[in-house]
Structure 1
Amino acid sequence: MQRNLLFILMSMVLLSPLAIDIYLPSLPTMAQDFSVSNSQVQSTLILFLFAMGLGQVIIGPLADRFGRRPVALFGLVLYILSSLLAVVSKEFELLQVARVLQGLAACSTSIVVFSAVRDCYSVKDGAKIYSYLNGVICVVPALAPTLGGVLALYFGWRSTFAFMMLYGLIMLVIVLWKFPETRPVNTVSEGALYRWARYKPVLTERHFLFYAVCCMTGMGAILTYVSYAPVWLIGQLGVSELVFSGLFGINAIINIAACFGAPWVIKKLGNRPTVILALSLLVGSAAMQFLAQEIGSQMGMAAAVGFMLPMALLCIGFALLLGPATSMALSAFGERAGTAAAMLGFIQMSGASLLAGLIQQTSLTAPFAVITVMGGGAIILLSIMSMKRMNAWHVERLAQD
């Protein structure tokens, strides 16, 4: 059963990254078709991630109350319907609604996947399963844009959402047929679903807040890069959808390699030093991007490479940052790990979407928007970590005892 379950979980976890990456090459074309600005079409990414973050708080308790299987089925049906709504949307506002619903749907299936790992595997085996799942998630950004570019080239951008709908249908059949209820019988499922007393100890813990903001900053930098890259490279610099997919895929492969190398770095340096290294890489990426824009080419393939090369350093920094920052944020919550993880996901994803959404309201070009989010955020966080009087916010607990 567990072997079949792993296959289902790995297949189901693809729904979220697929909905982010497969339609990236189509963003400039979508802006033209709907006669909207670049920032408006980028909002379809922002809204999706914001809904995923908000769903952590809303849907998480529902999986404990009603079980994993009903929430998974709800998420898949909503994913299919929201993808269909995107396919048939004639008004841009309907597309935005579809993306919000799709974000909630992807959040539902993601919560079920990671809950099922905790339900069915030991701590030791669960760590391996999480590694498999994260590996699958990292592979999608390398492959999905190329698939999306080919689909858009031959069938138009709506075909990318039709592909999501088809994949959702396949997963619905698999889950109906093979996915069992995994919720433990001793799961607490009574009482109020949402109450302040559950979240207050988490949101008032300084250590949690600092490292949650670290995660949010890294995710905000990645989201700004991902949302700006297609409209900048395709719309402004004039590269083709397939060339964009290739460049984006190279950076995704670098991110995959960094994800696999991150555990070794963390083992050698420790959590807090790795966070410092990762934030320093974000600052370095911002500096490289600034130099590329000041002294590099401004058009064509050379400019595209000049924009994407510093983003490779961002991908490495993000891969190094997320693991130790997440571990440090959750370190104080042995008995509230589920609630703390949900709040961390909310802050990370919804906060990042707000950061990216705010920067899109400015007149900054893509390179300088990314510089502002990742460079500015990383510098502020590194400055806090350099202050002894702020040690309670960021120094590891064992180092304090």
Structure 2
Amino acid sequence: MQRNLLPMLMAMVLLSPLAIDIYLPSLPTMAEEFSVSNSEVQSTLILFLFAMGLGQIVIGPLADRFGRRPVALFGVILYGLSSVLAGVAQEFELLQIARVLQGLAACSTSIVVFSAVRDCYSVKESAKIYSYLNGAICVIPALAPTLGGVLALHFGWRSTFVFMTCYAILILCMVTFRFSETRPSHTISDGALYRWARYKPVLMDRHFLFYAICCMTGMGAILTYVSYSPVWLIGHLGMSELAFSGLFGINALINIGACFGAPWVIKKLGNRPTVIFALSLFVVSAALQFVVHQWGLTSPLAASAGFMLPMALLCIGFALLLGPATSMALSGFGERAGTAAAMLGFIQMSGASLLAGLIQQTSLTAPYAVICVMGGGAIILLTIMSMKRMNAWHVERLAHD
């Protein structure tokens, strides 16, 4: 195993959440500057995540064929170039194109990170490593919106993309000089890159599909929460960008604690019970959000806090869900980890972006939008897990290392 691999993977995995969170406080300002609607400016988030998911299908097999390191280098370089393009865009359509390219770039590094975990750790260890990686990911929502708000306040929203460019250069140096190839020698990499036979063993596996949908539901709930929050709190309730960053950061700090505490919970409860517990938190969060919104708080600060408080439970549930669900989804695919990780990412991210995009086409306000996605999805999944005849979908099985 490569020495000091985890810190390097943690640094690489931050590229994706950084591209999501650092410019959140600027969304209302960007909508004004480009003269577009709130749903259109929210599309820059949706397009990024959809491209990140769709790109998994293309790039996953490349990671198995050519190795993790070349794919990582390609992704970091494209991330930097697309960040520059977004920063100089004068037309909204060009910004959207830049976000699609940035999503493709982020998916490259994401595949490398999660494949490297499967390459270098056992399935039992990987659940803990995934949780640590998710903990690193959750640091960004705690810090990036505040940083983005300060940058936008002093230098304009385009400075947030300049910051992403600088971070990409730093990661490029790290990958170039410190990241060695991790692809196992037994990785299946022969034959055509894109053929049904490569994806069929993964997509026909019911156990994989169920836990991939669990990941998709969690990501869909988080994306709905993230995309609606600035529009609801800043645009509707009139909070300042820095006040929004503060409230958002509190939930992110809660998420960080939950992510780093998740390995302990997984050890005590096990993978499947932890998934059940996490989905139950989604249901409780949805119920609490409904009650608080029905209460009809009139003060902007109280209404903002009332919206964000139930979201703290969502953040905890998401932190607990992703590690064991990812580990169980990938547990049977040691010989094709790159392809399996790619399909998981595709279902999780593109599916989540479609969920969030569809809910944005309705007239639902932010509280009801997150209630529908997180509450509805969790209830369906918990119902399946309560049915004995569906055991093949969700009961934990012995993994293949």
TM-score using structure 1 length = 0.91
Q: Which amino acid aligns with 2:208?
A: F
Q: 2:380 is matched with which residue?
A: 380
Shifted more, 133-142 versus 345-354: the winner is 133-142
Q: 1:273 is matched with which residue?
A: 273
Q: 2:192 is matched with which residue?
A: 192
Shifted more, 352-361 versus 7-16: the winner is 7-16
Give the Cα separation in 1 of the matches to 2:391 and 2:207: 9
Q: 1:342 is matched with which residue?
A: 342
Give the Cα separation in 2 of the matches to 1:257 and 1:193: 40
The Cα of 1:170 is off from its aligned counterpart by 2.7
Cα deviations across residues 323-347 of structure 1 (Å, max 9, x unaligned)? 2222333344454444332211111
Cα deviations across residues 200-250 of structure 1 (Å, max 9, x unaligned)? 122122222222211111110001001110111011111111111111111
Cα deviations across residues 292-320 of structure 1 (Å, max 9, x unaligned)? 11114144111100000000011111112
- Describe the SS at the equivalent of 2:62: helix
Q: 2:93 is matched with which residue?
A: 93
Alignment of 1:281-360 (within 5 A): 281-360=281-360
Q: Which amino acid aligns with 1:326?
A: T
Matched, 1:214 2:214: yes
Seq. identity, %: 83
Count residues in correspondence: 398
Shifted more, 264-273 versus 229-238: the winner is 264-273
Give the Cα separation in 2 of the matches to 1:332 and 1:180: 25
Matched, 1:148 2:148: yes
Between the two structures, name the one with larger relative contact order (CA 8 Å, sep ≥ 6). 2
Q: Is the 8 A contact 1:21 1:145 kept in 2?
A: yes
Give the Cα separation in 2 of the matches to 1:238 and 1:300: 7
Alignment of 1:133-144 (within 5 A): 133-144=133-144
Matched, 1:12 2:12: yes
**Cα separation, partners in 2 of 1:187 and 1:81, compared to 1, 3 Å:** same
The Cα of 1:257 is off from its aligned counterpart by 1.2
Q: Is the 8 A contact 1:296 1:306 kept in 2?
A: no
**Cα separation, partners in 2 of 1:83 and 1:321, compared to 1, 3 Å:** same
- Describe the SS at the equivalent of 2:222: helix
Cα deviations across residues 139-197 of structure 1 (Å, max 9, x unaligned)? 11111111001001111111101111122123323433444444456654432111101
Cα deviations across residues 71-92 of structure 1 (Å, max 9, x unaligned)? 2222122111111111111111
**Cα separation, partners in 2 of 1:67 and 1:330, compared to 1, 3 Å:** closer
Cα deviations across residues 243-292 of structure 1 (Å, max 9, x unaligned)? 11111111011111111222222233332222222111111111111111
Matched, 1:243 2:236: no
Q: Which amino acid aligns with 1:310?
A: P
Give the Cα separation in 1 of the matches to 2:73 and 2:55: 16
Q: 2:53 is matched with which residue?
A: 53
Matched, 1:175 2:169: no
Give the Cα separation in 2 of the matches to 1:188 and 1:388: 35
Query: What runs of 5+ residues in structure 2 fail to find an aligned partner?
Result: none
Q: Which amino acid aligns with 1:318?
A: F
